[in-house]
Structure 1
């Protein structure tokens, strides 16, 4: 409890809003994680898990309950993604970047729409969330994007870009200005990641041809 309280302590004030250790460490670990994903570096997974733990505390304190619960799912998916990146390719090969198939898109969009509706209803009726629809939307988009990241599907970056475009004003609305700035940085890194993964896909296709 002492550690949790220490993480909640404000370090400085920015835009008339106190910034805690939790938000600052979340900023740094989150930026590092996305940069590593863009470079297809396996270390993104343990760094991402640490980031998720920090964000559970931050989002719970800010009343973003779906985002807080989402971090628990992210931890489970990170364990799956970590294993997949190491073991999910052909024997003796790393997992390679691929495009999302039509079948994957069908069930992914169906699951995403159903998840959005269910989370919105839950937040609206069972919590004091002031932004249930936006919290639900970012949760659904993030889960869809994380699945694609675990499987190295290049279109996962488009889903992350869509989520970040909602996250940036949402966190600013909740006075999490440093986190909002972090997600603006994520948006830039997502564009870089999309470019890098597209390049990797083109190289793999050229080699296969």
Structure 2
């Protein structure tokens, strides 16, 4: 197909840097998905899946013979993870919308779940770092493993409707920005800078939605 061929090969040259349009378009899809997630729209999931498919080919630069011959295995692998977890989130939100009239109602994860999320992020990073190193991922490998693990937990948290999932994305972005710039993925690095601010906004939007739901229940409960 002509359009697919063009999208796969098209490049944007800025000075001495070459950026794939696939990287730009994939990140735009990711931004649209995050916006839909903040507004709790079911369409956020399929849009995100489309972006994940594009970015998978971008982060395996050496495999797909792109201008940037750097493999970020954690970044590439998390696109597959995103697709798998997004299918679950898509089903969960759509089922909820059909049964209760809302895609998801934000709720706090609770103290125990928060501790498990932090432990999971640290443990996942520790376990995956030597695996990614053995596979030849870009240094520092722990950062790639941190991003992969955090992305898995954040996407699962979004599917569950936990308000805290936005803060996990903040932790991912803090590590992801310097890693992507050092690896030469400038479009993704710039998008991560924007994501960092966006995820903070998303956290407060969901927190207010939770507060409004609590106040509504109090006002309608029998005295």
Per the normalisation by structure 1, the TM-score is 0.91
Structure 2 equivalent of residue 83 of structure 1:
91
CA distance in 1, matches of 2:177, 2:137: 21
Classify the secondary structure of the residue corresponding to 1:130.
coil
Pairing partner for 1:139 from 148, 152, 155: 148
Structure 2 equivalent of residue 100 of structure 1:
109
The reply to whether residue 178 of structure 1 matches residue 183 of structure 2 is: no
CA distance in 1, matches of 2:137, 2:158: 32
Report how far residue 10 of structure 1 moved. Answer: 4.4
Report how far residue 104 of structure 1 moved. Answer: 2.1
Pairing partner for 1:169 from 178, 185, 198: 178
CA distance in 1, matches of 2:2, 2:101: 45
Relative distance call for 1:5 and 1:123 in structure 2 (3 A) is farther
Conservation of the 8 A alpha-carbon contact between 1:80 and 1:150: yes
Report how far residue 200 of structure 1 moved. Answer: 0.6
Classify the secondary structure of the residue corresponding to 1:72.
helix
- Greater Rg by CA: 2
Classify the secondary structure of the residue corresponding to 1:99.
coil
- What is the root-mean-square deviation in Å for CA atoms of aligned residues? 2.2
CA distance in 2, matches of 1:65, 1:149: 23
Relative distance call for 1:48 and 1:178 in structure 2 (3 A) is same
Gaps of 5+ in 2: 62-69, 219-223
Gaps of 5+ in 1: none
The reply to whether residue 204 of structure 1 matches residue 216 of structure 2 is: no
The reply to whether residue 64 of structure 1 matches residue 72 of structure 2 is: yes
String of CA shifts for 1:143-196, please: whole Å, max 9, x gaps: 111111111111111110111111111111111111111111111221221121
CA distance in 1, matches of 2:89, 2:179: 27
CA distance in 1, matches of 2:98, 2:113: 20
Relative distance call for 1:93 and 1:8 in structure 2 (3 A) is closer
Q: Which has the higher contact order (CA 8 A, sep 6+)?
A: 1
